[in-house]
Amino acid sequence: MSGMPPLLEAHGLVKRLGGRLVVDGVDLVCHGGQVLGLLGPNGAGKTTTLRMLYGFLSADAGVIRFEGADVSRQLSRFKRQLGVCTQEDTFDGDFTVRENLEIAASYFRPRPPAVGRRVDELLERFALATYAGDKPEALSGGFRRRLMIARALVHRPRMLFLDEPTTGLDPQARVAVWDLVNGLRADGLGIVLTTHYMDEAERLSDVLTVLAQGKVAAHGTPKSVLGDMLGEHVVVLPADGASRPAVATWLDAHGLGEPLTVLGAWHLPLSGEQLADFAHAFPALRYEVRPPNLDDLFLKLALPCTA
């Protein structure tokens, strides 16, 4: 992957909205055939970053390149290569499912070739053919998402932006969307995905960019991001146990700060060395050791906001 030129790259993106610095110097890179997961707690700047990337908002500073070319000089040509599935459904309620795909195709030049055939193909691929003559409001949540993604693909883009594509879906519908995203990656599309579901980010993303307070907090594969930000292990122990003061002192002494507290339990992300030290310091303490996951990372990033 590293030998291929990136499809999309952004450097030093900055955006202020209403006088507030929402995105502060974000860099990211996405290659064709790759899913880039953009993660972060609420207010981290994910959607604003995504909106700048697909040209909905202009950046106050920084540059976005598509195949090496600055997109601000040829925004319309750049947008011809993009498909966007927004967080909220924005399909056209005046039209049927089929007409929604047709009308979306009319918003692109050069015109997508053989639109009728392309629409049939998408209806088939996204299992929407049965509902082709129905209004989108008649569809279930899962099929509405399918329509949104199908609409984003009608003009055969090379980059796809998915802003929380499975929010509000039941597990079956989520898995169906995951399968579709996997298939699109296999087709060679570059995909930028934001999500609140950590299992989704872990399963789908080849590479993660983690945002916190408008800045990139970590970047890399899910495993390397977790290793860099949390360590290799998470120790889980009751937060109200008798050992609490001693553990808090130990954390302070090791510069680990406030522990994550979830449902009355402390979750302590530790490196292998720290775990050995912890085991040595508390030989009689009962606790669970598990590998870290993105939920731990999410909670760690969200901690300053919730404190």
User: Using CB under 8 A as the criterion, which residues of the chain lie in contact with another protein when the complex forms?
Assistant: 17-18, 54, 56-58, 75-76, 79-80, 82, 84, 86, 88-95, 99, 103-104, 106-109, 152
CB of 91 to another protein, least distance (A): 7
- Cα–Cα distances in angstroms (integers) from residue 150 to residues 118, 129, 249, in the given order: 10, 12, 54
DSSP 58-107: --SEEEEEETTEEGGGSHHHHHTTEEEE-SS----TTS-HHHHHHHHHTT
Residue 239, exposed/middle/buried by CB under 10 A (0-12, 13-18, 19+)? middle
Between residues 54 and 126, which has the closer beta carbon with respect to another protein? 54
Least distance (Å) from another protein to the CB of residue 2?
30
Whichever of 75 and 262 has its CB closer to another protein, that residue is 75
- Smallest distance, another protein to C-beta of residue 86, A: 6
CB of 13 to another protein, least distance (A): 14
Nearer to another protein, 13 or 82 (CB): 82
Amino acid letter at 197? Y
**Shortest distance in whole angstroms from residue 93 CB to another protein:** 5
Closest CA to 115 of 105, 127, 129, 126: 105
Give CA–CA dist 215/14, Å, rounded.
9
Q: Indicate the residue among 23 and 230 with the shorter CB distance to another protein.
A: 23
For another protein, give the closer residue by CB, 161 or 278.
Answer: 161
Give the bridge partners for 17, in sequence order. 20
What six digits make up the tokens of 57?
Answer: 């908002």
CB 144 to another protein: min, Å: 13
User: Which helix (H) or strand (E) covers residue 280, if one does?
Assistant: helix 272-281
* CB closer to another protein out of 27 and 99: 99
